[in-house]
Structure 1
Amino acid sequence: MWNKWVAACRYCFNQAIAYQKENGLIGKIKLRNIIMQSNLPEWMQETPCHIRQNAIFDAHQAYKASQDCKFRSCHAPRQTIKFNNSNFSQGRWYPKLTKGLDFKTSESIPMKSINATQLVKTKSGEWFAVFLNETHPKGNNNDGIISLDPGVRSFLTGFDGQKFLEIGVQDIGKINRLCSYLDNLMSRISQSFGHKKAKMRKASSRLRNRIRNLVDENPSLYFN
């Protein structure tokens, strides 16, 4: 069902972009009414109204920022469904519409949300839920100073005047190994055909996600 929702969001976004490219920028409410009341495919009627509306609003914002904005592709690295805060309750999105269906999560998610939420699908088929979480920064009474130098062998090297500290040494080595394996995999993909090539492309997409997660994890791990 989520895949159908993603397709509906992409379709409405592209229709809204196409309309604006032909007719110019108009108000987002007027744009929503035009697209929603147009001759949409029958399968679209089975998808929630709010997610289609939010996709149209995204198209309005994208065209307002740049008239050269691009259409959304089904081959994009990430595809997003945006929900209103009222669309999530009882620990799921549209509980009445999805009654009888279930999903598993690697981490616990809240039963309700006072903020808007999102579902993000990656090219490798993974799904991520996005919830806003209010945090309060803690004060730091430590007056110590450390100088940090980004490196190649390690993510960062620090010196506090007395000793050196290497940050992310093992992660850099793991990233190098994964990049080397990805290069080898891409070489084999170029020599493959048919179903085998498709499976290897999915594997390369998963591998890129692992590399990207490791790269993004280092700064957030040490500076948040």
Structure 2
Amino acid sequence: MQRLQAFKYELMPNGEQQRNMRRFAGACRFVFNKALALQKDRQAQGEKKLSYAAICKALVEWKQQAQTLWLNETPSQALQQSLKDLDRAYSNFFAKRAAFPRFKKKGQRNSFRYPQGCKIDQANSRLFLPKLGWLRYRNSREVLGEIKQITVSHHAGKWFVSIQTEREVAQPVPQGGIVGIDMGIARFATLSDGSFIAPANSFKRHQAGLRKAQQALSRKTKFSNNWKKAKARVQRLHARISNVRKDFLHQATTAISQNHAIVCIEDLKVRNMSKSAAGSAEQPGRNVRAKAGLNKAILDQSWFEFRRQLSYKLAWQGGHLIAVPPRNTSRTCPCCDHVSADNRRTQARFECVACGLDENADVVGAINVLRAGHARLACEVNAEVMASAAGTHRGDLAA
């Protein structure tokens, strides 16, 4: 089977290479914004959207104009990839998968991409990028497979390279059985076998330091040297919070995917669960402060990223992820199937009012998720059997 995988490393460029990378990222941002403005102008005039090929022709004209001759200093492939990103953003918008494309802002998500023309020398921990030359990188692990594209990005004062590869791997055999997982805040993930994973609470642990850094930033004169230093400190803290959370999620999802063949989780709508309760001036919300604290705790757990990583890692291991509706998973007794809000009078304990079952509420939720996953798996198996039988029956009739 084919496996697409990305390997990310920190770059160690010299001063000239850093300046060139900033210029390349700025040129890609300029081309993206200029193309988006052109598309919006055509839309305002009632004309059709330009295709990717037509926009590329416009790019050739921009590179020949006197005021934008500096675009020729940037690799043409990187500029074309920026236009391809815009075309994909429009496709996602029309397919209702994303919002309408927005203009890119300087200093946010600076990056550019090479689809080809790159070389890597892993023995000497260096790679070659067009118009940048050889760059050293922190070689933490081996790059496996054929290189498909390379993305260079800037984050919190550092430059990183992401190498996407493709390789052929043997069909994996899943290890372990089936398990249900209940997501929470006090316990990040509770498994149906009774074990649980404690939360990392990355933002909560760094909240005090981040607040002080943001207060210091607010007291500086904007765009002064001291303001830039204070801003860099805030960015480093945000990067640390993000890195701690990502490392925690990768360790948790790797352990679960390697030890279980089928994982059942709740199909949580995190965006809806973390909506603000402030309301409006005409209809103000209730318990706004408490809901804001709950939203912060929910987003700090990063449940959606946990599910995304679990999905592709299980696929790599030959496993399967089943998402079940979360309705009443914490109110249903797994022994007598009695459903009542009184079964869970506290956040931590589950006490069935019908049969008297006394258990941890998160464990009960994980067991109910597992039961729902079993039911869905049985339905899928029955559907496959019926489809196979129908196909066999049609074949007999044709014979």
TM-score range, shorter chain: 0.7 to 0.9
Does 2:35 match 1:16? Answer: yes
Query: Which residue does 1:116 correspond to in 2?
Result: 149
After superposition, residues 158-169 of structure 1 pair within 5 angstroms as 158=191, 160=193, 164-169=194-199
After superposition, residues 128-147 of structure 1 pair within 5 angstroms as 128-133=160-165, 134=167, 138-143=172-177, 146-147=179-180
Higher strand share: 2
Bigger Rg over Cα: 2
Closer, same or farther: CA 198–21 of 1 in aligned 2, 3 Å: same
In structure 2, distance between residues paired with 1:111 and 1:8: 31
In structure 2, distance between residues paired with 1:37 and 1:221: 49
Query: Which residue does 1:42 correspond to in 2?
Result: 69
1:102-157 Cα deviation digits (max 9, x unpaired): 333253565994312211212x22222222244667423423x5543333344323
User: What SS does structure 2 have at the residue aligned with 1:17?
Assistant: helix
In structure 1, distance between residues paired with 2:88 and 2:31: 14
Query: Which residue does 2:56 correspond to in 1?
Result: 32
- The answer to whether the 8 Å contact 2:26/2:110 transfers is no
Closer, same or farther: CA 211–49 of 1 in aligned 2, 3 Å: same
Structure 1: state its 5+ residue gaps. Answer: none
Closer, same or farther: CA 34–112 of 1 in aligned 2, 3 Å: farther
Query: Which residue does 1:61 correspond to in 2?
Result: 88
Structure with more contact order per residue of length (Cα contacts < 8 Å, sep ≥ 6): 2
- 149-158 vs 21-30, which moves further: 149-158
User: What SS does structure 2 have at the residue aligned with 1:74?
Assistant: coil
Q: How many residues align?
A: 213
Query: Which residue does 2:216 correspond to in 1?
Result: 188
Closer, same or farther: CA 136–184 of 1 in aligned 2, 3 Å: farther
Closer, same or farther: CA 146–58 of 1 in aligned 2, 3 Å: closer
Query: Which residue does 2:248 correspond to in 1?
Result: 218
Query: Which AA in structure 2 matches 1:22?
Result: D
Structure 2: state its 5+ residue gaps. Answer: 1-19, 44-48, 95-99, 122-126, 254-312, 314-399
In structure 2, distance between residues paired with 1:80 and 1:212: 18
- 150-159 vs 187-196, which moves further: 150-159
1:35-83 Cα deviation digits (max 9, x unpaired): 221225232211111111111121222234448421111131x222121
Percent sequence identity is 19
CA RMSD of aligned residues (A): 2.8
User: What SS does structure 2 have at the residue aligned with 1:131?
Assistant: strand
Does 2:3 match 1:3? Answer: no
Closer, same or farther: CA 218–137 of 1 in aligned 2, 3 Å: farther
Aligned with 1:127 (options 159, 167, 175): 159
TM-score (ref. length: structure 1): 0.80
In structure 1, distance between residues paired with 2:22 and 2:142: 20
- The answer to whether the 8 Å contact 2:112/2:152 transfers is yes
- The answer to whether the 8 Å contact 1:155/1:218 transfers is no
- The answer to whether the 8 Å contact 2:128/2:135 transfers is no
Query: Which AA in structure 1 matches 2:210?
Result: L
- The answer to whether the 8 Å contact 2:147/2:163 transfers is no
Query: Which residue does 1:98 correspond to in 2?
Result: 132
Does 2:206 match 1:206? Answer: no
Query: Which residue does 1:177 correspond to in 2?
Result: 205
Query: Which residue does 1:71 correspond to in 2?
Result: 103
1:27 Cα deviation after fit: 1.5
